[in-house]
Chains A and B, each alone.
Chain A
Amino acid sequence: MATDDDILLGPVPSPDDEPTAAERAHAKTFAELVDKTFTGRTPPAMSADDRALLDVATVIRAASGGMPLAPSTQRSIVEDALRKAIGEPVGSTAELPSAPRQQVRPIGSARRRWVPWAIAATSTLVAVAAVLLLWIRTPAHVQVQQPAAASLPSTWKSRPTDPLIGPIARERAGDAASRIDYIFADRLDGFRDRTLGGRR
């Protein structure tokens, strides 16, 4: 008669071999055990091998999303993990003699709930303030900026020709023709420089 030991410790059958009767019986038994476990009717006693296989089946089912844990179970698992992270004995609520009690906040605490609301409220206030500022702000009167003229080179500006011409000698008092040529050439240089050399 085949036993579980024979199935687990015997040679590994090839995939193409036909299952034996013992293998079929063992598979049926294990399937029933898994079904009972998933429906909450885990048998109180089972072999170590079956328990190991059952744990694997449970993990596989949980990983595939087919077995959601109860909220209390989830919290318990997470709290155990957090306790382990901070060095507190898992599953133990006894205080350590030399260290103060470190309370692990549950995940579903109020802190988690109000932080995003606080951020959203702050953002809302900032946006409201910006909008009010824009609506309340009155447009300033038209400001005509004058620095453009002040920053122009002197050669670009209309200006007296005294520095260019200088004192007029008496013998040249009527020689306006040569002076107008000089004035025109000087202003033409400035005009060309301004219009062709990059207007500011």
Chain B
Amino acid sequence: MKIRLPGSVALVTVITLLGLGSCSTNDSSGTQGAGGVTRVAEPGDVINQDLMIALAQAKNFHHKAKVYMSDGKTDDAMAAVRQILSLQFPAGAPEAEDVRLDARAMLAKLLVGKGDLEEAMRVVDEGLVQSKRESFFVANLHTVKGEIHEARATLLVGDGDGEANKAKIIEERREAITAYDRSIKINTALQKQLMEQR
């Protein structure tokens, strides 16, 4: 006995096949190239290999500087620390600023130890200008700045008791106090902020 398929059923089958074909076409075109509908973003602020490499290099340079300092080679130690300032960190990584500011503080301390106060002040001021946020490292840099002003005042004390000299000494000491006050304020604000976040 023959079974006759109604014409509309055959039409439904054809249309359904066309629809499935258009579905697959849309999906395939959607995933090709830049025409995709949805893309899952790769997180840009994760700890990646580039950041770890930069941190490892900074660590190695610091250790290198420590070895040079233990051997009394201050210039070589400062050269190793300066290399940290030119390391390439991932763009926008907060660790980059912290590591560079800390390196500047260490370099400034080495320069103060060597007696090159002007270069030390220049290194500190450059770091403070480049800083984009307040941090414990910025506060540390202000502390080092205060120490540099103190060292300047101490040198001026040794130059004599002239009136001009006295004014400079007072000015340097005032700047030192200002720098220390600034460091204390930053530390206090940050500590309060961290306590509130916990």
Contact = CB atoms under 8 A, between A and B. Distances in A.
A158 B45 CA distance: 5
Given A134-B19, A145-B41, A166 B30 contact: no
Contacts of A130: 19
B144 interface: yes
Contacts, number: 174
A11 interface: no
A168 B117 CA distance: 22
Contacts of B143: 168, 170, 173
Interface in A121-157: 121, 123-124, 127-128, 130-131, 134-135, 137, 139-140, 142-146, 148-149, 152, 156-157
B43 A148 contact: yes
A165 B101 CA distance: 13
A148 B106 contact: no
Contact of B187 (A120, A160, A167): A167
B120 to A, nearest CB: 11
Nearest to A134: B22
B23 A162 contact: no
B47 A194 contact: yes
B79 interface: no
Contact of A180 (B18, B35, B62): B62
B38 A142 contact: yes
Interface residues on A, range: 35 or more
A177 B65 contact: yes
Interface in A159-193: 159-163, 165-168, 170, 173-177, 179-181, 183-184, 187-188, 190-191
A116 interface: yes
A181 B19 contact: no
A184 B55 contact: yes
Nearest to B41: A144
A156 B48 CA distance: 9
A144 B13 CA distance: 37
B133 A190 contact: no
A121 B8 contact: yes
Nearest to A143: B38
Interface of B: 6, 8-9, 11-12, 15-16, 18-19, 22-23, 26, 30, 34-49, 51-52, 55-56, 58-59, 62-63, 65-66, 81, 90, 92-95, 98-99, 102-103, 105-106, 108-110, 133, 135-137, 139-140, 143-144, 147, 187, 190-191, 194, 197
Interface of A: 116-117, 120-121, 123-124, 127-128, 130-131, 134-135, 137, 139-140, 142-146, 148-149, 152, 156-163, 165-168, 170, 173-177, 179-181, 183-184, 187-188, 190-191, 194
Given A116-B6, A142-B38, 16 more contacts: A120-B6, A123-B8, A123-B9, A127-B12, A146-B41, A157-B45, A157-B47, A158-B46, A162-B190, A173-B105, A173-B143, A179-B102, A183-B55, A183-B99, A187-B51, A191-B48
